[in-house]
Amino acid sequence: MSDVDEDEVFQGDSEGEEQNEDIQEEETSEKDQIEACPLTQDTIVQGLSLLCRTGNGLAHAFVKLDLKERHLTDIVLLSSFVHLRFLDISSNYLTDLSPLAALTQLLWLKGDSNRLQRFKGLPLDQLTYLQWLSLAVNRLCDMEGLGGPSLETLNLIGNGIQKVFGLEYHRLTNLVTLELRGNSLETTDGIYLPNLRRLYLAQNKIKRLGGLEKLERLTILHLRDNQLETLDGISPSMKSLQYLNVRGNLVPSQQALQSLMGVAHTLRALVLAENPLSETEDYRLSVLAQLPFLERLDKESVSSEERSEAQERFREFQDSPEQEDH
């Protein structure tokens, strides 16, 4: 069986939808003029926890800091807390993260629901140990300047990203999970990340798949609620793909499945519900006849009876006079 957990992926869908709702609520209640509220020593002391040994092993320092929902407009004071490893600055009014450049021990950073507009100028390349970064629900429009030598997981749900422009593989060599749900992407072009394993692109405006042939290690591709009418762009070079979700798109007919033939041997779970294709006659059997290694179609496991019937249908199709003529 595939190790892809479909229920877990669908749970991620609901989380993405909730975060998108949070954006709208926040923007509705947000004042045009925000009173300056810089970080203070007292606020920092209240949020510190997790006492650990420092690098030389001879001293101790607090390495975790929670500053969420403090109405902060700047975090200049943080630059002296060089031992921090875990930092939550979400739900503030921050537009500048440059003071974090000095926090070279950071492993985990959550900056959701702020006012960041660009990656360019952020000190991410200097955070050489940072592995997990979430900047969901900000005002990012592109990915130019994004980098992080140790970054493994990046969450950018609910921004305004229209193009994956300026994404440089050599600055993101360890990235394995990329979350881009709820943005404004129209194509997948530009996601050149050969080590990527999981790519979440639901709730965008994607009409065309491009550049995916470079994602040879991708196991999960999530494209729910986009505007795809074809699956052209799913490439045979995607030789690790196990899970594909195109629920809620505009895929019209069985013919579109021809684009999946190149990944048929690895694909184990496919979600096609809420496409015109899923309303056609003998939908499940027709899909299984073309993709015989599937273990789950939509939310249902493939039964042995279904598989046998699909294989019989496939043999009949192969033996038909029309096929012989070709």
Residue 241 has pLDDT above 90, yes or no: yes
Which tens digits make up the pLDDT trace of 166-190?
788 899 999 999 999 999 999 999 9
Which residue did the predictor score with more confidence, 29 or 302? 302
Mean pLDDT for 291-311 is 92
Residue 10 has pLDDT above 70, yes or no: no
Which tens digits make up the pLDDT trace of 26-43?
544 454 567 888 999 999
Task: Examine the domain organization and report whether 201 and 290 are in the same domain.
Answer: yes
Mean pLDDT for 239-268 is 96
Q: According to the model, what pLDDT value does residue 168 have?
A: 83
Sign (positive or negative) of CA dihedral 192, 193, 197, 200: negative
Residue 141 lies in a domain: yes
Based on its alpha-carbon atoms, the radius of gyration of the chain, rounded to whole angstroms, reads 23
DSSP state for residue 38 in the 8-state scheme: B
Rounded distance between C-alpha atoms, residue 11 and residue 122, angstroms: 31
Mean pLDDT for 78-83 is 94
Q: According to the model, what pLDDT value does residue 54 have?
A: 81
Q: According to the model, what pLDDT value does residue 21 have?
A: 53
Domain count, the chain: 2
pLDDT confidence band for 321 (50 / 70 / 90): low
Residue 22 lies in a domain: no
Q: According to the model, what pLDDT value does residue 36 have?
A: 85
Task: Examine the domain organization and report whether 310 and 190 are in the same domain.
Answer: yes
Helix 283-290 to helix 304-319 angle (10° resolution) is: 70
Task: Examine the domain organization and report whether 282 and 216 are in the same domain.
Answer: yes
Residue 7 lies in a domain: no
Which residue did the predictor score with more confidence, 164 or 206? 206
Residue 172 lies in a domain: no
Task: Examine the domain organization and report whether 212 and 272 are in the same domain.
Answer: yes
Tell me the percentage of the chain whose pLDDT exceeds 90: 72
- What residues make up the domain containing 48? 36-153
Task: Examine the domain organization and report whether 314 and 189 are in the same domain.
Answer: yes
Which tens digits make up the pLDDT trace of 270-291?
999 999 999 998 899 999 999 9
The model carries a pTM of 0.87
Mean pLDDT for 131-145 is 95
User: In terms of Cα–Cα distance, which of 36, 117, 123, 120 is closest to 87?
Assistant: 123
**Where residue 311 sits, what CATH number does that domain have?**
3.80.10.10
Residue 60 lies in a domain: yes
For 29, other C-beta atoms within 10 Å of its C-beta total 7
Task: Examine the domain organization and report whether 214 and 95 are in the same domain.
Answer: no
Q: Is 28 exposed, middle or buried (0-12, 13-18, 19+ CB in 10 A)?
A: exposed
Residue 27 lies in a domain: no
Task: Examine the domain organization and report whether 125 and 62 are in the same domain.
Answer: yes
Residue 268 has pLDDT above 50, yes or no: yes
H or E element: which one contains 313?
A: helix 304-319
Task: Examine the domain organization and report whether 194 and 307 are in the same domain.
Answer: yes
Residue 97 lies in a domain: yes
Distances, alpha carbon 297 to alpha carbons 52, 112, 161, 288, 301, in Å: 48, 34, 31, 8, 6
Rounded distance between C-alpha atoms, residue 314 and residue 324, angstroms: 14
Q: According to the model, what pLDDT value does residue 113 have?
A: 98
Q: How many helices (H) and strands (E) does the chain have?
A: 5, 13
User: In terms of Cα–Cα distance, which of 266, 273, 217, 233 is closest to 249?
Assistant: 273
Task: Examine the domain organization and report whether 198 and 127 are in the same domain.
Answer: no
Residue 297 has pLDDT above 70, yes or no: yes
Residue 270 tokens read as 């496919």
Task: Examine the domain organization and report whether 218 and 308 are in the same domain.
Answer: yes
Rounded distance between C-alpha atoms, residue 239 and residue 216, angstroms: 6
Task: Examine the domain organization and report whether 297 and 191 are in the same domain.
Answer: yes
Sign (positive or negative) of CA dihedral 101, 175, 177, 106: negative
Q: According to the model, what pLDDT value does residue 120 have?
A: 87
Q: According to the model, what pLDDT value does residue 22 have?
A: 52
Residue 324 has pLDDT above 90, yes or no: no
Residue 309 lies in a domain: yes
Task: Examine the domain organization and report whether 140 and 238 are in the same domain.
Answer: no
**3-state DSSP helix/strand/coil percent for the chain, to nearest 5?**
30, 15, 55
Range in 109-118, 142-151, 224-233 the model is least confident about: 142-151
